Amino acid sequence: MVGGGIAGLVAARDLAKAGLRVSLVESRPQFGGAVGSHMVAESVFDSGAESFATRTPDVAALIDELGLTDRVCTPNQAGSWVYLPDGARPGERSGVLGIPGDLSSDALRQTLGRLGWWRAKQDLKRPARIGSQATTVGELVRARMGSAVVDKLVAPFTLGVHSLHPDDLDVDAVAPGLKQALREKGSLVAAAASLRAATPAGQNVASLRGGMNVLAEALVRDLTRRGVKLVAGYDVLALDRDPRRDGWMVVQRQPEAGDKTAIARGELLVMAADGTSAIRLLSGADPEFSHLQPDPSPRVALATLVVDCPALDSAPRGTGVLVSPAVTDVRAKAMTHASAKWEWVRDALPEGRHVVRLSYGRGGGTDAQPAPELELSDDQLVRLALRDASRLLGVPIEPQDLVDADVVRWEQALSRPSAGHPERVIKVREGVSRLPSAIAVGAWLAGTGLAAVVADTRAQVAALLASRGVHPAPD
């Protein structure tokens, strides 16, 4: 197995449960990928994903299997705000992706403005066919509801969650079923409301006490107990068919040991690396994969600040703030007020102390086109985060209020589901199906979020095992 993120760990567990001997190779020093941890002010917090979507039972089922159900927690229901050029306002919570599922609130009318609100209401009168052929989220929402909804509601959401503008996001990849619901319900408002209603009220996301990093740690412990060979700190240079037997051969290198190389052999191949690495390695087995390189992953930097600031006790901006791309006085694309969002974080802190996490990489910065703030040093980014947090929260936070800070940078952690992404995924899956005893998993194929990754990974592994007449044993 290649890749030790959540997809790789979940795949390894299901394979081991089926009685197979499993070896998993990860290039990073630790396992878990974007579901990681870091220590700030002598406390452990999530360094990546902090929650999971509850629209499907897949993550909850995995958590239950690992004996973590008693640690499941839900966020404060105050909700997030949106920061626009004219100031901060409560965010839209009636639909999906920032698309409103109800146009009747006064707050929404004020956010959109008179003309923007009038244009959004035209969605209720327009034929369902309008926008039904749109490929991106921006194209769909603009056709149905106008530019104000895109700019003031949807763009802050997608930039904060997916690090991409709505015009760069494939609608079928990030909101499966939305266009079908539009055809059935007759309006985008009703479609967004129906998708929202599919999730129990107040339970759109959940987490674990101690953070989602607890899930990754539990998976590693479980794999160790099952005898899975876990190899960290090794780059995979190449893979090919094993000429000695009907199987696979993986060439590994350990940079920290003078580029020491090793060869691992096995009957099955699970490719759980990031999209760029996966295509590079699969191209060695079949050159046709070289034409299926995914778009560059967005680069993101997360600045976590621990501050002594009693003025934040009232959670002035709810659980956090999503930032409009039209804003010029803030460089962050989103901010989470973690100690207001999660009770377990608040309970672990002294009175008046708070944790805020700001996300940078507006516009989906890549290696080719990095967002300017990503080029800052960690110290510079922390200073920028203090300034941005003060503006987003509407509360002065001075340098002397800072207790501790840490910056985590992610370069291959997020998928980039731009226009045409679902079609590329289909082609990749078709290509992998032609390889003997191989599957490919991960967020770049399944979609953003733990719910999508866990469900897809377990389905792919189950199909691989079924093709060999093997089935995972129950716990």
Element (H, E) at 393: helix 378-393
Residue 351 lies in a domain: yes
CB neighbour list of residue 99: distance below 8 Å, 6 or more residues apart = 92, 141, 145, 149, 153, 154, 188, 189, 192
Give the count of beta carbons closer than 10 Å to the beta carbon of residue 298. Answer: 25
Residue 341 lies in a domain: yes
Distance CA 154, CA 230 (A): 41
Residue 233 lies in a domain: yes
Distance CA 133, CA 171 (A): 10
User: Does residue 359 share a domain with residue 309?
Assistant: yes
Residue 473 lies in a domain: no
User: Does residue 163 share a domain with residue 102?
Assistant: yes
Total tally of structural domains belonging to the chain: 3
User: Does residue 273 share a domain with residue 305?
Assistant: no
User: Does residue 422 share a domain with residue 277?
Assistant: yes
User: Does residue 387 share a domain with residue 439?
Assistant: no
Q: What local confidence, expressed as pLDDT, does residue 240 receive?
A: 84
Residue 475 lies in a domain: no
Residue 114 lies in a domain: yes
Last residue of a domain, one of 197, 222, 242: 197
Q: Is 259 left (phi over 0), alpha (psi -120 to 50) or beta?
A: left
Last residue of a domain, one of 369, 393, 410: 410
- Contact present, 397 and 309 (Cβ < 8 Å): yes
| Three-state secondary-structure class, residue 124 | helix
CATH of the domain at 165: 1.10.3110.10
User: Does residue 310 share a domain with residue 289?
Assistant: no
Structural tokens at position 67: 């004996």
User: Does residue 310 share a domain with residue 279?
Assistant: no
Distance CA 153, CA 162 (A): 14
Last residue of a domain, one of 361, 382, 410: 410
CB neighbour list of residue 410: distance below 8 Å, 6 or more residues apart = 34, 48, 299, 300, 301, 302
Closest CA to 227 of 17, 55, 387: 17
User: Does residue 343 share a domain with residue 283?
Assistant: no
User: Does residue 404 share a domain with residue 432?
Assistant: no
Closest CA to 263 of 25, 11, 13: 25
User: Does residue 287 share a domain with residue 367?
Assistant: no
- Contact present, 35 and 413 (Cβ < 8 Å): no
Q: Please report the sign of the dihedral spanned by the C-alpha atoms of residue 419, residue 146, residue 327, residue 316.
A: negative
Q: What local confidence, expressed as pLDDT, does residue 414 receive?
A: 64
Distance CA 179, CA 130 (A): 11
Distance CA 381, CA 302 (A): 9
Residue 163 lies in a domain: yes
User: Does residue 394 share a domain with residue 317?
Assistant: yes
Q: pTM for this structure?
A: 0.89
Give the count of beta carbons closer than 10 Å to the beta carbon of residue 125. Answer: 8
**Domain hosting residue 191, numbered range:** 91-197
Residue 317 lies in a domain: yes
Q: What local confidence, expressed as pLDDT, does residue 199 receive?
A: 63
User: Does residue 394 share a domain with residue 256?
Assistant: no
**Low pLDDT (below 50) residues in the chain:** 201-202, 365-367
